[in-house]
Amino acid sequence: MSETSFTPGIVAGRLAADSYDEQFSDLHPLLDGHEALVASDRCYFCHDAPCITACPTDIDIPLFIRQIATGTPDAAAKTILSQNIMGGMCARVCPTETLCEEACVRELAEGKPVLIGQLQRYATDHLQQQGIHPFERAALTGKTVAVVGAGPAGLSCAHRLAMLGHEVVVLEPKAKSGGLNEFGIAAYKTTEGFAQAEVDWLCQIGGITIKHGQSLGAKLTLSDLQGQYDAVFLSIGLGGVNALGLAGEDKEGVLDAVEFISDLRQADDVALLPIGRDVVVIGGGMTAVDAAVQAKLLGALNVTLAYRRGRDRMNASKFEQDLAASKGVRIMTHVVPVGLHGNGAVREIEFEYVNDDMSGTGQMIKLQADQVLTAIGQVLQGHNLPVFDGGKIDVDTMGRTSITGVWAGGDCATGGDDLTVTAVAEGRDAAMDIHNVLVGSSNGKS
């Protein structure tokens, strides 16, 4: 659309009604059978494959690709899911370009890796679309475990515990399960309600009860859960967002990017979601890129992503940075916000250029902005939690906290890198440790 067709201010419907489906279509469409065979044929099926080491969930990647190549995608899916029960979502959102595919021998030799992520999606989708759940529960143990939070870590933990014969109750404050998979990932990465479909499929194992509208607080404490269950796993995420610390950040038009993405993901019709004409996103991580790209897809004329360091220091991968640029997002680096200007509503944002050591240069720049989205990190919220370390719950390698009988994993715990795939691995590993403790003691406590 031409510039004159945009309405100043934060409004809905900036684009033609029939263009939104295309704008928010699948980022990586599903491979068909022939494409999957061609892609799998490029794998060298390496012994001691570096791609396995690079995968946080230790999936046997050469094996599942060989299974695809031999025409048994459902067997490939089971290979994947036995290590990563949320392999379908991870195939969509995992930064494979900096993990398994970066380690691929083909990437090192030719600069073109095997399409591991897309092959993983091909296999898991093939299985899940048939409604098949390839795992069965072990004999019941009589033990019950509370999982607080229905995000990737919590659901992974719940599934593994249920498979091992325990009864699991998942307590989730929101009306839907999935955590960031449902509320915090760009809509073009997980289309057609996949996040909820994956939760429903995962729960087919049995033994998992999800209770929504339940959260730790005055009415439900960690001590209460310890008294009611044999073990507790905390996967409560990071519920708070960091503030800019600037006067005027309460102006109309200033919003945290997590809330913006959540509103978009839950919208019945994205065309009805208001977006500014001039949007500035502050941050350098995946959330910042997701927000910036989606602002552009909604019809914002100018979208700028502003980051305080260089592009090489951004948490968002080069692929994500390039994706943003390809959609028309301007990336500014070495700038920090120093002022928000406007009468009631934001109209301008002022930045200072900084050096690599974050010292100011004295050089300022002002950008027009009727909408500012902040993505400068999230913080853990809660009271009477286990010991913290660096603002997160301190855990050992198996997820044990400072409180006996309480484990933690995912974004709320130390040791991870805030990726879905890492959270899944932490939930799985904690479940195995919980199981070993419960079946090895008379009272179910460590």
Interatomic CA distance for residues 111 and 328, integer angstroms: 26
CA nearest to 94, candidates 423, 431, 326: 423
Answer yes or no: is pLDDT of 7 > 50. no
Q: Give the strand pairing for 335-341 and 348-354.
A: antiparallel
- Asked if 342 and 316 sit in the same domain, the reply is yes
Answer yes or no: is pLDDT of 444 > 90. no
pLDDT at 417: 79
* Domain presence at residue 340: yes
Answer yes or no: is pLDDT of 2 > 70. no
DSSP annotation string for 34-102:
HHHHHHHTT----TT-HHHHH-TT---HHHHHHHHHTT-HHHHHHHHHTT-TTHHHHHHHS-GGGTHHH
Interatomic CA distance for residues 284 and 254, integer angstroms: 17
* Domain presence at residue 18: no
Give the Å distances, CA to CA, from 153 to 223, 255, 257, 397, 399: 21, 27, 22, 15, 11
As for how many domains the chain has, the answer is: 3
Which of 128, 156, 187 is where one domain is finished?
A: 128
Q: Give the strand pairing for 208-212 and 167-172.
A: parallel
Residues 340-358, mean pLDDT to the nearest whole number: 95
For the chain, how long is the longest CA-to-CA vector? 73
Helices (H), 184-221: 194-202
Give tens-digit pLDDT for 263-282: 999 999 999 999 999 999 99
pLDDT at 441: 54
pLDDT at 85: 98
Answer yes or no: is pLDDT of 443 > 50. no
Give the Å distances, CA to CA, from 87 to 94, 132, 441: 9, 14, 32
pLDDT at 437: 97
Q: Which two tokens stand for residue 370?
A: 């009727």
Which of 128, 163, 194 is where one domain is finished?
A: 128
* Domain presence at residue 1: no
443 vs 284, higher pLDDT? 284
Give tens-digit pLDDT for 60-81: 999 999 999 999 999 999 999 9
- Asked if 327 and 249 sit in the same domain, the reply is yes
Could you tell me the CATH number of the domain that includes residue 296? Answer: 3.50.50.60
Range of the domain at 330: 241-377
Chain-centroid distance of CA 356 in Å reads: 29
Residues 168-172, mean pLDDT to the nearest whole number: 98
- Asked if 367 and 419 sit in the same domain, the reply is no
DSSP annotation string for 376-423:
S-EE---SSPSPEETTEE---TT-B-SSTTEEE-GGGBTT--S-HHHH
Dihedral sign computed on CA atoms, order 35, 419, 238, 350: negative
* Domain presence at residue 27: no
- Asked if 266 and 279 sit in the same domain, the reply is yes
Give tens-digit pLDDT for 172-184: 999 999 999 999 9
* Domain presence at residue 23: no
pLDDT at 112: 96
- The one-letter amino acid at 215: S
Chain-centroid distance of CA 346 in Å reads: 29
- Asked if 354 and 396 sit in the same domain, the reply is no
* Domain presence at residue 258: yes
- Asked if 332 and 416 sit in the same domain, the reply is no
Answer yes or no: is pLDDT of 446 > 60. no
Residues 225-253, mean pLDDT to the nearest whole number: 94
Other residues' Cβ atoms within 10 Å of the Cβ of residue 250 = 10
pLDDT at 8: 57
Asked if 33 and 118 count as a contact pair (C-beta separation under 8 A), the reply is no
- Give 176: exposed, middle or buried? Use CB within 10 Å, 0-12, 13-18, 19+: middle
* Domain presence at residue 446: no
Look-up of token digits 């403790």: 437
Look-up of token digits 């968002």: 316
- Asked if 389 and 301 sit in the same domain, the reply is no
- Asked if 261 and 345 sit in the same domain, the reply is yes
Give tens-digit pLDDT for 110-160: 999 999 999 999 999 999 999 999 999 999 999 999 999 999 999 999 999
Give tens-digit pLDDT for 364-407: 999 999 999 999 999 998 878 999 998 999 999 999 999 999 99
Asked if 288 and 295 count as a contact pair (C-beta separation under 8 A), the reply is no
Task: Name every residue whose Cβ is closer than 8 Å to that of residue 139 and which is 6 or more positions away in sequence.
Answer: 165
- Asked if 325 and 399 sit in the same domain, the reply is no
pLDDT at 442: 38
pLDDT at 240: 85
Q: Which two tokens stand for residue 276?
A: 């500014």
Mean pLDDT estimate for the chain = 94
Interatomic CA distance for residues 250 and 317, integer angstroms: 31
Which of 352, 377, 402 is where one domain is finished?
A: 377
How many CA within 13 A on the CB side of residue 11? 10
pLDDT at 4: 38
Q: Which two tokens stand for residue 408?
A: 């933690």
- Asked if 289 and 392 sit in the same domain, the reply is no
Characterise 169 by phi-psi region: left (phi > 0), alpha (psi -120 to 50), beta (else).
beta
Asked if 277 and 302 count as a contact pair (C-beta separation under 8 A), the reply is yes
Interatomic CA distance for residues 352 and 260, integer angstroms: 25
* Domain presence at residue 56: yes
- The one-letter amino acid at 390: G
- Asked if 355 and 249 sit in the same domain, the reply is yes
* CA distance from start to end of the chain: 62
- Asked if 287 and 317 sit in the same domain, the reply is yes
